[in-house]
Amino acid sequence: MKNKIKQLRKAAGLRQEDMAKILDVSRQTIIAIENDKYNPTLELAMKIAKLLKMHVEDIFSLD
């Protein structure tokens, strides 16, 4: 699964640390998601979408 989290996070003015703290995950989790090394759970994907004020399908896409 591909995602646009890195670009969207930067556009929102958030650091990886900021996003991790808000979402209650580690910075390493954010790094892994951004690098397509980890697919977030549905719950985490929905939290990310809510934080970025977007729909899940606008952030994540199937290969």
Is-contact 1 36, C-beta < 8 A? yes
- pTM given for the model: 0.92
The predicted pLDDT at position 47 comes to 98
User: CATH fold of 2-56, please?
Assistant: 434 Repressor (Amino-terminal Domain) (1.10.260)
What length does the chain have? Answer: 63
DSSP classification of residue 61: E
Q: Where are the domains of the chain?
A: 2-56
Two tokens, residue 47: 């939290």
Of 61, 2, 59, which is closest to residue 23 (Cα–Cα)? Answer: 59
- Tens digit of pLDDT at every position of the chain (63 positions): 999 999 999 999 999 999 999 999 999 999 999 999 999 999 999 999 999 999 999 999 987
Of 44, 31, 42, 35, which is closest to residue 3 (Cα–Cα)? Answer: 35
Task: Give the list of residues 6+ apart from residue 1 with CB closer than 8 angstroms, or none.
Answer: 36, 39, 60, 61, 62, 63
